[in-house]
A = this chain, B = another copy of it.
Amino acid sequence: MIERLAILGVGLIGGSLARALRGADAVGEVVGCGRSLPNLERAVELGVIDRFTQSPGDAVAGADMVFVAVPLGAMKGVFSAIRDRLEPGAVVTDGGSVKGSVVADALSAFEAVPPRLVPGHPIAGTECSGVEASFAELYENRRVILTPLPETDPDALARVTAMWETCGAEVTRMSVAHHDEVLAATSHLPHMLAFGLVDALARMRENDEIFRYAAGGFRDFTRIASSSPVMWRDICLANREALSAMLARFGIEMTDLAESIRRADGDRLLEIFERAKAARDRYVDSAR
């Protein structure tokens, strides 16, 4: 049970956590914090938070659990703002999509990474933003990756694990670096391809016509290109190295594919498509 939960960044990720914990009757009071009043007022109206403040320091006062769910570029500022206002036993965790940068930001804001800070990342989301987009079921049957450090307090880790399990999530652990590599492959690279494809088409002369003839598959394929540009700029900057490596790997794959098309190598194309289809079908089966 959480007595007082502070949500810093009451958007899709923060709002959904508050809703899920409330739904499970696992939290006493929820205090929200953000920059813009309309989003915070709406969060109160929707019953996602009980009250709000625009000061991160005030938000964490008296809180036993603090969840930081701002874009990655805002993490360091939030950490600095709360560092001297945390309750002694308070547990701090976050939902940032990259973990290396969050740990680095904590290191620079707190001087040493606090033992009661548990870096985390729910593998769940939609392309929508803001509290309006949040919903209690977002984390049900989804994975949450926690990336504790050697110095992380086991009790803090257990509390964060229990919090996510209360939301219906399955909690796993991995190292910070491994998390950032895996997510570069499964999430960050696909977003780059979707943004890149839509942008390439949007810049073509006949772009209106092109979009008019896009079929159903295109809608699904490009859904993630409707995600928040600020959030994704921050993710790219925060996970530069792993993402660059994945982009290079993908570039090699596409060069091979383009070459096979150019020289009309049907056998090679079939081989690539069959391997991809088998992997995708296996993934979908196992994700059921």
Q: What residues of chain A have their CB less than 8 Å away from a CB belonging to chain B?
A: 123-127, 142-143, 145, 182-183, 185-187, 189-204, 206-207, 209-230, 232-234, 236-237, 240, 243-244, 247-254, 257-258, 260-262, 264, 266, 269-270, 272-284, 286-287
DSSP majority for the A interface? helix
The interface residues of chain B lying within 8 Å CB-to-CB of A282 are 211
A217 near B223: Cβ-Cβ < 8 Å: yes
- 10 smallest CB-CB distances across A and B, nearest first, come from A229-B273, A202-B279, A198-B276, A199-B276, A200-B253, A186-B214, A211-B283, A220-B220, A195-B276, A225-B280
Residue of B with least CB distance to A248: B258
Residue of B nearest to A199 (CB): B276
Residues A279 and B198 in contact in the complex (CB < 8 Å), given A232-B269, A261-B240: yes
- Copies of this protein, total: 2
A258 touches B262 (CB 8 A): no
Chain B residues with CB under 8 A of A250: 196-197, 200
| Interface contact A251-B258, CB-CB below 8 Å | yes
In the complex, are the beta carbons of A215 and B125 less than 8 A apart? yes
- A253–B240 CA distance with the chains assembled, in angstroms: 17
Question: What residue of chain B has the Cβ atom nearest to residue A252's Cβ?
Answer: B200
